[in-house]
């Protein structure tokens, strides 16, 4: 029994160490983006549930990083693409009323891409992630990279978790 507890605690220590190390490595990959004033502006725009665009992008970036690192893909580009994938910089809840654009779900990847390339140099994977993350809504614009396919999943996963965690009403 003592042996079992000892092994369990050693496994927990190792798990905790990996979690800490991966978090630090992740932040090193996205630091330049996450602390840039244009990216910080995403905090002004509410997104799913009680989250804002910045928090959502940070969540997607982190899950992208973990999954891609686990599968030995380009975790750095996946994290960076995730951090910028919703850089459309407006409140989509009022966007339709203000602009008449009722296709936000389809048009915002291109808006995010235009903003992202204005401020950052992006590689092929990062561009793919931003432009195709809304698949299957953007039916003919589908991911060409494995990191892009992972983002299709992490974006929906994070979006649904955030939507589930609505603001509490007092």
Pick the piece of the chain touching Fe ion (CB under 5 A) from 6-14, 22-30, 78-86, 121-129. Answer: 78-86
Strands (E), 2-108: none
Q: Which token pair is 40?
A: 């910080």
Among 29, 68, 77, 86, binds Fe ion (CB under 5 A): 86
- Residue 155 contacts Fe ion per CB under 5 A: yes
CA 8 – CA 36 distance, rounded (Å)? 41
- Residue 162 contacts Fe ion per CB under 5 A: no
Find the shortest distance in angstroms from Cβ 134 to Fe ion. Answer: 6
Residue closer to Fe ion by CB (options 73, 111) is 111
What's phi and psi for 52, nearest 5 deg? -110, 175
Which of the 8 DSSP states describes residue 1? Answer: -
Phi-psi category of residue 41: left, alpha or beta, with phi > 0 → left and psi -120 to 50 → alpha: alpha
Find the shortest distance in angstroms from Cβ 57 to Fe ion. Answer: 7
Find the shortest distance in angstroms from Cβ 60 to Fe ion. Answer: 6
* Sites of contact with Fe ion (CB under 5 A): 86, 155
């Amino acid at each position: 029994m003592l042996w079992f507890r000892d092994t369990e605690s050693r496994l927990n220590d190792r798990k905790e160490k990996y979690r800490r190390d991966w978090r630090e490595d992740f932040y090193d990959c996205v630091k330049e983006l996450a602390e840039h004033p244009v990216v910080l502006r995403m905090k002004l725009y509410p997104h799913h549930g009680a989250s804002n665009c910045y928090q959502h992008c940070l969540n997607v970036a982190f899950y992208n990083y973990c999954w891609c690192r686990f599968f030995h893909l380009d975790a750095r580009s996946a994290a960076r693409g995730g951090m910028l994938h919703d850089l459309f910089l407006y409140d989509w809840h009022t966007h339709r009323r203000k602009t008449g654009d009722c296709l936000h779900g389809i048009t915002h990847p291109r808006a995010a891409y235009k903003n992202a390339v204005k401020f950052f140099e992006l590689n092929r994977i990062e561009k793919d992630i931003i432009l195709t993350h809304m698949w299957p809504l953007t039916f003919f614009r589908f991911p060409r990279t494995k990191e892009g396919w992972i983002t299709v999943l992490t974006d929906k996963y994070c979006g649904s978790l955030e939507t589930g965690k609505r603001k509490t009403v007092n």
